[in-house]
């Protein structure tokens, strides 16, 4: 199996309702192709993990990367895995708060709360999802 994780920037003017549409499509399609993962959105950036059989993941990523609803897609993880990090989620959606205020505080954890993540999530994924707002 393969797992990819990327960050991207939402197209200007993208609304929460557009994100809901993306998630609805993702959950339907991913369930039918045994892809699992997590999509986090903080109002500006997306961070998404997708995992599943090699071809399913690569084909899906090609579609996602070409989607005009976001840009500046940067791949952070591309790894072979023997187990899923998000076995129960066709595409979990999590709305994260955005870092704000004192710039020194940007190194604090202010992505997703740990409680929003699967308990057995590998450390590197945990780190990225709990701190992804430091990108701002």
Ligand X SMILES: Cc1cc2nc3c(=O)[nH]c(=O)nc-3n(C[C@H](O)[C@H](O)[C@H](O)COP(=O)(O)O)c2cc1C
Burial of 98 (0-12, 13-18, 19+ CB in 10 A): middle
Closest separation in Å from C-beta 37 to ligand X: 6
Site membership for ligand X, residue 29 (CB under 6 A): yes
- CA trace torsion 6, 88, 119, 25 (10° rounding): 40
CA 86 to chain centroid: 11
Taking CB under 6 A as the criterion, the residue among 13, 16, 62, 63 binding ligand X is 63
Query: In which element (H, E) is residue 131 found?
Result: helix 123-131
Binding mask 89-128 for ligand X (x = CB under 6 A): --x-------------------------------------
Q: Which chain residues interact with ligand X by CB under 6 A?
A: 22, 25-26, 29-30, 39, 46, 48, 50, 60, 63-64, 67, 69-70, 91
């Amino acid at each position: 199996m393969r797992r990819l994780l990327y960050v991207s920037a939402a197209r200007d003017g993208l609304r929460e309702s557009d994100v809901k549409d993306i998630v609805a499509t993702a959950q339907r399609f991913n369930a039918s192709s045994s892809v699992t993962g997590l999509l986090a959105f903080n109002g500006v950036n997306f961070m998404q993990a997708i995992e599943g059989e090699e071809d399913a993941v690569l084909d899906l990523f090609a579609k996602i990367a070409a989607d005009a609803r976001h840009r500046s897609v940067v791949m952070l993880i591309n790894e072979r895995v023997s187990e899923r990090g998000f076995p129960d989620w066709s595409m979990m959606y999590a709305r994260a708060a955005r870092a704000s205020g004192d710039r020194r505080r940007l190194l604090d954890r202010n992505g997703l709360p740990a409680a929003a993540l699967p308990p057995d999530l590998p450390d590197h994924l945990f780190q990225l999802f709990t701190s992804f707002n430091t990108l701002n």
